[in-house]
Amino acid sequence: MCVGPDGQSTLALIKMLKRKKPEKKVRNFQPDWTDCVRGKSWECDLSVIGSQGKKGSRPLLYTNECRASTSTHTFFKYADDTAIVGYLNPDGSVLTSFEEEVSNFTKWCRDNFLAVNANKTKEMVIDFRRHKSEIPNSTVNDKTIERVSSYKYLGIEIDDKLKFEICTTSKVNKLQQRMFFLRKLNYFQVDCTILELFYKTVLQSVLSFGLVCVFGNMRKGNQDKLQRLLKTASKIIGCSQTSVTQLWADLVVDKAERILRDPTHPLYRKFQLSNRGSSRLLQRSIKTKRFSLSFVPSAIRLFNERHRSRS
């Protein structure tokens, strides 16, 4: 990944900013650069543009320099979606620094010809303290940001209690809709092999999406809802399928193994081997049940159990 543009891309950007169409196409696509500059057609002007150089295609990430100025805040960027996460402390120092981060982010967007839509921007506070303090709403471009109790980010419904009630309801509704087609295939006496293939392709893909993040902290009743749907699908197919708990465990261990093979992964430092000759991961201290059911502690626990049973 290249942090800065090369010479050809710089010339193309200069032409774009002068509202002239560049002669060079981007991956056989000729965009309307005038509309891009005026903000008519594209939500994110300069997020990612592929540049064809001498050594092949290289993606240029122009939002790479937009970073948090302190370690207590994190920017999560995916295409034109950006989430700013900060930690709450009993004193108001962190709140002040969070407001500064939001202000710096909006200023960076303004300086780089990007517009932050305050109407679409939402704010969510996750606070498990018994004695909660008043937290003022954030502002963007002199507009107060709406505070919500749940928000859908990258396809996952996140609530301020981290119980994932809305996420469970969404998964159940999607699975029930797709269950109709599974019943129809069974009504037409389709072979069970095709039924199982349809289940794994259409239903299990919906079930497994984001499961490593949400299943551990789901309530037992919500986990049972997903298991009942899976049990119904198993009856229609005619053979038992992997349970939701087992599917979650397999996905978590597989994700942990991939993280261990990728030193550039943001969670790589969370997974540390006990010593060089051992395959056991060190488990950090856990103070709350909520944290013990989250991804990293669950992945370390299941990873150690899986490798202990193999040895």
Taking only the tens place, the pLDDT of each residue in 12-23 is: 766 666 654 444
Query: Which amino acid, residue 219?
Result: R
Closest alpha carbon to 195 in 242, 235, 224, 250: 235
3-state secondary structure at position 144: strand
Rounded to whole angstroms, the Cα distance separating 61 from 41 reads: 20
Count of domains forming the chain: 4
Residue 58 CB contacts under 8 Å (≥ 6 apart), including other chains: 1, 2, 6, 50, 51
* Within a domain: 275: yes
* Within a domain: 67: no
Q: Which tokens is 265 given?
A: 């992964």
Domain end among 214, 241, 268 = 241
**77 pairs with which residues across the strands?**
82
pTM score: 0.75
Q: Which tokens is 56 given?
A: 């092949």
Domain end among 222, 241, 260 = 241
- DSSP result, 127-139: ---SSPPP-PPPE
Residue 151 CB contacts under 8 Å (≥ 6 apart), including other chains: 122, 124, 157, 158
Backbone phi and psi for residue 68, each to the nearest 5 degrees, phi listed first: -70, 140
* Within a domain: 86: yes
Rounded to whole angstroms, the Cα distance separating 107 from 121 reads: 16
Residue 119 CB contacts under 8 Å (≥ 6 apart), including other chains: 143
* Within a domain: 156: no
Instruction: Quote the pLDDT of residue 117.
Output: 87
Instruction: Quote the pLDDT of residue 62.
Output: 59
* Within a domain: 253: yes
C-beta separation of 103 from 124 below 8 A = no
Regions of the chain where pLDDT drops below 50: 1-3, 20-24, 26-27, 31, 33-61
* Within a domain: 154: no
Instruction: Quote the pLDDT of residue 248.
Output: 97
Specify whether the backbone of 27 is left (phi greater than 0), alpha (psi in -120 to 50) or beta.
Answer: left
Instruction: Quote the pLDDT of residue 67.
Output: 83
Domain end among 101, 119, 148 = 148
Residue 219 CB contacts under 8 Å (≥ 6 apart), including other chains: 163, 165
Q: Which domain holds residue 237?
A: 165-241
Pairing of strands 146-147, 150-153: unpaired
* Within a domain: 230: yes
Q: 283: exposed, middle or buried (C-beta count within 10 Å: 0-12, 13-18, 19+)? A: middle
On whether both 258 and 222 belong to a single domain, the answer is no
Residue at token pair 């009504």: 187
On whether both 87 and 141 belong to a single domain, the answer is yes
